[in-house]
Amino acid sequence: MYLLDDPLAAVDVHVARHLYSECIVGLLRHTTRILVTHHVHFLHSSDFIIVVEGGQIRQIGQYII
């Protein structure tokens, strides 16, 4: 299991997309990954989304178009 605490925060959008597709979705595809991030454009490929505000879980769900 990998717990990734906002690894995309300090990089630009191009690098974030590359890291996400090649590393998080690519290299780690056979593992459990928990990604903490503010990048909402990666939500579409998530199995579950948990929204935390003020240290409390506010919503749990899946990405629906």
Domain 2-61 has what CATH class?
Answer: alpha beta
**pLDDT value, residue 40:** 86
- For the stretch 8-44, pLDDT in tens is 999 999 999 999 999 999 999 999 999 999 888 888 8
In the predicted structure, residue 65 carries a pLDDT above the cut 90: no
Annotate 23-56 with b (16+ C-beta within 10 A) or e (fewer): ebeeeeeeeeeebebeeeebeeeeeeeeeeeeee
